[in-house]
Amino acid sequence: MITDEDKERVRQATDFVQLVAETVELRQRGQEFWGCCPFHGEKSPSFKVNPATGLWHCFGCGEGGDVFSYVQRRENLDFPDAIRYLADRAGIELTEERSARRGPKRSRLVEALGAAEEFYHTMLMRGKGEGPDEARRYFAGRGFGSSVCRRWDLGFAPGRGALVAHLRKFGFTPAEMIAADLAQERSGRLVDRFYDRVMFPIHDEQGRAIAFGGRIIGAKRDNVAKYVNTRDTAAFNKGKHLFAYDRAKEGMAATGEAIVCEGYTDVIAMHEAGYTNTVAALGTAFRLDHVRLMERQRVSRIICMFDGDAAGQRAAERAIRYLDKTSAALMCVVLPDGQDPMEFLAAHGADALRPILASARPLMDFVFEKRLEGYDLSAPGRRVRALEDMARVLAPLKRSVLLHEYATRLADALGMDVEETKRAIREAPVSVLDDSDVPRRGSSSAPRREGRGTGRGDTSPRPAPAASFEGQDPEGSVEVPDDYVPAEAYEDAPAAAGGVERADDLRALSADERMQVVAERELLAAIAQRPDAMRAFGDRIATLSWADERHEAMSWAMLSTPEGTPPAEVVAAASAVVPEAPVILSGGRVMGDDALPDQKKLELIVDTAELSSCRRRVRAIRSRLRSLPSGAESEALFEEAASLQRRMGELSARLSSALSE
């Protein structure tokens, strides 16, 4: 759980203007910065950021809030993950991270991984001997010359304790190396985790090395996995990261598309050919977290470049469970002649790939075609077996709004009743994976292949050898399946506490009520920005009849702060009593108007709020008098109403005078 103290540490460590300026061109107007809203198309700037209060607002779309709600919108994150995102940027270790870990700090692991990346890269580019020479030949054989190797920080792991010795020189402890999965203990001594492998560094969103994928080079050795990935650590989770996402996110945002390949070299070849929106999963099946990561770049299409073999078909079938969990269209491309992207680009060039990507088919089309092409549907019994088979594939969608569409399609293909196909799908078990997908001890946890002759589609179980080797769990425990998908992938997850909350829709209110709510919010925004100046109006604010009781609570929370309190802390005081305070406080317009001096603006805001309050009180008195018999109470109410009417006349005159100046 993220504490309030951590939340404030992250808030104070974040330069809000600099954060927004990464994607929005801002111009300063007084104390505020203005630009075009990043969340809806516009030509005239209506989006502002106030660094003093730490709030943002767009007058075009009505959105607003604090730095956390901004990151939620921009990165498509829930509230806790927005805090974690900013904490990671600022290098802040949250209390939850310290409580969860039992070992070295995450920051130390990232430093060790960065040092390892430099070491592996140096060994590839400058190393001497048979190993480095063979690594260079491997990359050259795939069209990756020295310039490509430099751009992608590719490397070579010699093993034999070379990395351990190198990291010790920099002061990294054995515990830190093991926790980063760069080393392991064997026979009482510390040895390199990777050896005799070409190395593909895996980066986080900020471009820092957090893991590695290693491919064996030279003659294939018995009991040695062809591919080995860094295991999950405090710095890396293969189910949440994508290879080359740090490089691809800008391309995704620019094109509105993401391309998902199956191997490291495929991704590199795609980027080098100009398809800079390409990524790959990391030794795991395509997961919902991967989809959400790409959604953060507002992609409208995710194109999966699966192989046309049995393994590619299984990957496509796993991915259809996300069809109703993303606003992006999941599409599929199968390259001709069984080629992978690297081979296709080498043979045909980048331009030949464009029409193929443009004509990508819906993912479900590929699944239907590949599954049903193996059945002779001429016999009723075979159609029943095909129904049972497809029902298992479609079972993850049994509670989806898409069920009717796909059940109808399946019924048409099989010549069966739609309701019968729905029943079969609803009764089919939701199988996360089949036996052939469970990684065996010693199996690779990296992308399946780079090139031909790797036993594609071979799903027969292999007994685990008794000897210890790379990729095997040294304790002999059962590994969690790589493509395990948690239950929340299938259910509607509850909304995260503290998430983005829009200010109430005012359209349902009367015109007078809308005016009062707007006046109250202008008053609150003024208190947030000029708390000390607004304290002078405290007595008048105390008499207001508020349209929204949250506004009253916020006003007193802010005015109760000590004199000299910075605006950001005043906003925090309001947020402590009303969680949606940042959204409410971000929408003030008047304080950003440079036509009037500050004191005039404050008087105008307070007068307007008091005038609205008087009108509200008069309406309440009139309503009360309709049901009240004549007497002392009614006379007192008449007097109060008359006094309020006189005050309304004074305020109206002052406002007219102020606005005419």
Distance CA 444, CA 225 (A): 5
> What is d(CA 3, CA 97) in angstroms, rounded to the nearest whole number?
11
On whether both 36 and 130 belong to a single domain, the answer is no
Q: How many CB atoms lie within 10 A of CB 187?
A: 5
Q: Which whole number is the average pLDDT over 518-540? A: 93
Contact 219/236 with Cβ under 8 angstroms? no
Mean pLDDT of 345-374: 89
* Diameter over CA atoms, the chain: 107
Instruction: Indicate the residue among 236, 251, 278 that finishes a domain.
Output: 236
Return d(Cα 277, Cα 275) in angstroms, integer. Answer: 6
182 within some domain: yes
Of 99, 127, 144, the residue at which a domain comes to its end is: 99
- In this prediction, residue 443 carries a pLDDT of 35
pLDDT tens for 181-216 read 999 988 889 999 999 999 999 999 889 999 999 999
- SS3 of residue 122 by DSSP: helix
Residues contacting 584, CB < 8 A, separation 6+: 503, 521, 524, 550, 551, 554, 578
Q: Does 8 share its domain with 91?
A: yes
When the pLDDT of each residue in the chain is averaged and rounded to a whole number, the result is 81
Residue type, 279: V
- DSSP notation for 456-492: TT-----PPPSS--TTS-TT-PPPPPTT---GGGTS-
Structural domain boundaries, residue 46: 1-99
Q: Does the pLDDT value for residue 456 go beyond 80? A: no
Do 231 and 270 lie in a common domain?
Answer: no
Most confident of the following: 404-413, 447-456, 555-564? 555-564
174 and 262 within one domain: no
Q: Which of 117, 180, 181, 191 is nearest to 153 (CA)?
A: 117
Which amino acid type is present at position 329?
A
In the block, residue with structure tokens 């986080």? 204
Residues 75, 151 within the same domain: no
Contact 463, 42 (CB under 8 A): no
Q: Are residues 252 and 281 in the same domain?
A: yes
The answer to whether 343 and 299 have CB atoms below 8 angstroms apart is: no
Residue 143 domain-assigned?
A: yes
Element (DSSP H or E) covering residue 642: helix 632-660
| 494 falls within a domain | no
How confident is residue 659, by pLDDT bands cut at 50, 70 and 90? low
Residues 330 and 362 sit within 8 Å (Cβ to Cβ)? yes
Q: Is the pLDDT of residue 136 over 60?
A: yes
pLDDT at residue 213, as a whole number: 92
Percentage of the chain lying above the pLDDT 90 cut: 38
Give yes or no: residues 242 and 310 share one domain: yes
In a domain, 116, yes or no: yes
Q: Are residues 517 and 650 in the same domain?
A: yes
Written as one string, the DSSP assignment of 374-407 is TS-TTSHHHHHHHHHHHHHHHGGGTTSTTHHHHH
411 token code pair: 């019924």
Reading the block at residue 332, the tokens are: 């599929």
334 and 435 share a domain?
A: yes
Q: Say if residues 571 and 584 touch (Cβ distance below 8 Å).
A: no
Nearest C-alpha neighbor of 127 from the set 217, 225, 9, 6: 217
Q: In what order do the strands lie in the sheet with 47-50?
A: 27-29, 32-35, 47-50, 55-58, 64-66
In a domain, 463, yes or no: no
What is the sign of the dihedral through the CA atoms of 268, 269, 275 and 277?
negative
Most confident range, picked from 156-160, 367-371, 490-494:
156-160
Domain contains 466 = no
- What are the pLDDT digits (tens) for 227-248? 888 988 888 888 888 999 999 9
Query: pLDDT of 68-99, one tens digit each?
Result: 999 888 877 788 888 888 888 887 878 766 65
Last residue of a domain, one of 66, 99, 132: 99
Residue 471 pLDDT exceeds 60 = no
Per DSSP (E only), the strands in 239-392 are: 257-261, 278-280, 301-305, 329-333, 361-362
The verdict on 399 and 267 lying in the same domain is: yes
Q: Which of 416, 411, 406 is nearest to 380 (CA)?
A: 416
CATH of the domain at 112: 3.90.980.10
Residue 283, Cβ density class (10 Å: 0-12 exposed, 13-18 middle, ≥19 buried): buried
Do the beta carbons of residue 192 and residue 159 sit within 8 Å?
Answer: yes
Count CB-CB contacts under 10 A for residue 282.
26
pTM above 0.85, yes or no: no
> Is residue 85 located within the same domain as residue 5?
yes
Average confidence (pLDDT) over 445-460? 36
Does position 453 have pLDDT exceeding 50, yes or no? no
> Is 139 found in the same domain as 68?
no
pLDDT tens digit sequence for 289-331: 888 888 888 899 999 987 666 666 777 788 888 888 888 899 9
In a domain, 305, yes or no: yes
Which CATH number fits the domain that encloses residue 249?
3.40.1360.10
Place of tokens 């990777």: 194
Count of structural domains within the chain: 4
Alpha helices in 397-439 (DSSP H): 403-414, 418-427
pLDDT digits (tens, 9 = 90+) for 578-633: 998 998 898 888 887 777 788 888 999 999 999 999 988 888 888 777 667 778 88
- Asked if residue 451 is part of any domain, the answer here is no
Which of helix, strand or coil describes residue 446?
coil
CB 212 within 8 A of CB 260: no
Mind listing the pLDDT tens digit for each residue in 423-437?
A: 888 888 775 443 333
